[in-house]
């Protein structure tokens, strides 16, 4: 089903609701990831990474704004309010992304796993029947390409470096593995998203493609493959989150809450 605009989406029973769920997943993944990236500013291990993480953070937050604007067209409030004035129970990011940055190895491994997933999701959505989404992701994909190159290089270098780097990278992978499976969930809307042709593939296929792409990097990094990731107990796509997200939101929205009506 090809749907050209928000106005058209509103005319099809159930379409707008399913689309809204997916857009929140996309926007919230990017916003939370972008915020975590920004936390490295001034603290990254070298000046080049400070530059890289500020650029990547800017891209991710910019992408979240693109999705928030599509939500606004569909009748939600404006992007600032969607970003800063929405409780944790209304957030749809994967739980693994709300976890604190940990050490550099955890940061790199999580970002690499997320970037591979995001590329696969974007590739799938480039044929979405919802045309405004297909157009945006085609552009976003070209930018995300550079994030993935960067993270893959770090992942394989640290993993194969030996000594403390390898030890920390293996630990990061172990820690991430219990929750990384949450990325693939499409929440309660999955069957309707597929039915309407908003996304052409479901959670199982997203995960299969992800494993196909991540496994060669494990070999290169000389990190043993931990097996297919399990489905975690709490699902961020259903609004289930941890106190880590509460703390992240407290910090991210601190300035906004001083005076929500202010024009910055």
Partner 1 sequence: MSDNRDALWQALQEVKDPEIPTISLVDLGMIHRLQVEGKRVTVEILPTFVGCPALDIIRRDVRKRLLRVEGVADVEVKFVYHPPWTSERITEEGRKRLASFGIAPPRPAGDNPMDIVPPCPYCGAEGGEIQNLFGPTACRSIFYCRRCRQPFEGMKPV
**Which residues would be at the binding site for partner 1 (CB under 8 A)?**
48, 51-52, 54-56, 58-63, 65-66, 135-136, 138-140, 142-143, 145-146, 149-150
Give the distance from CA 184 to its chain's centroid: 10
Decide whether 34 or 182 has the Cβ nearer to partner 1.
Answer: 34
Helices (H), the chain: 6-10, 15-38, 47-73, 79-84, 95-98, 104-125, 131-160, 163-177, 190-195, 203-221, 243-252, 254-258
- Angle (CA) 240-186-106 rounded to 5° is 65
**Least CB distance to partner 1 at residue 142 (A):** 4
Q: Which is nearer to partner 1, 95 or 108 (CB)?
A: 108
The Cα 264–Cα 262 span in angstroms is: 6
Which residue, 19 or 65, has its beta carbon nearer to partner 1?
65
Question: At closest approach, how far in Å is the CB of 51 from partner 1?
Answer: 5
Q: Facing residues of 130 across strands?
A: 3
Pick 52 or 193: Cβ nearer partner 1: 52
Least distance from C-beta 19 to partner 1, angstroms?
17
Q: Which is nearer to partner 1, 19 or 95 (CB)?
A: 19
Q: How many alpha carbons lie under 13 Å from residue 231 in its C-beta half-sphere?
A: 8
DSSP state of 199: S
Tokens at 184, concatenated: 């693939």
Find the shortest distance in angstroms from Cβ 202 to partner 1: 26
Smallest distance from partner 1 to CB 66, Å? 5
């Amino acid at each position: 089903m090809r749907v050209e605009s928000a106005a058209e989406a509103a005319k099809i029973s159930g379409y707008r609701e399913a689309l809204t769920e997916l857009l929140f997943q996309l926007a919230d993944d990017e916003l939370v990831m972008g915020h975590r990236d920004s936390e490295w500013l001034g603290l990254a291990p070298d000046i080049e990474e400070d530059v890289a993480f500020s650029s990547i953070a800017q891209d991710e937050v910019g992408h979240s704004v693109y999705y928030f604007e599509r939500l606004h067209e569909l009748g939600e409030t404006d992007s600032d309010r969607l970003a800063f004035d929405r409780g944790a129970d209304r957030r749809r990011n994967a739980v693994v992304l709300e976890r604190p940055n940990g050490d550099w190895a955890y940061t790199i491994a999580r970002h690499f796993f997320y970037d591979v997933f995001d590329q696969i999701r974007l590739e799938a959505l480039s044929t979405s029947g919802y045309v405004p989404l297909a157009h945006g992701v085609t552009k976003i994909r070209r930018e995300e390409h550079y994030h993935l190159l960067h993270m893959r290089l770090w992942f394989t270098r640290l993993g194969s470096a030996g000594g403390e780097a390898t030890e920390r990278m293996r630990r990061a992978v172990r820690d991430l593995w219990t929750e990384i499976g949450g990325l693939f969930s499409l929440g309660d809307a999955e069957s309707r998203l597929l039915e309407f042709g908003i996304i052409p593939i479901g959670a199982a296929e997203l995960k299969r493609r992800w494993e196909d792409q991540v496994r060669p990097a494990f070999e290169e990094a000389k990190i043993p493959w931990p097996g297919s990731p399990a489905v975690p107990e709490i699902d961020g796509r259903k609004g289930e989150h941890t106190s880590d997200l509460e703390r992240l939101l407290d910090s991210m929205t601190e300035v906004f809450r001083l005076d929500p009506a202010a024009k910055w």
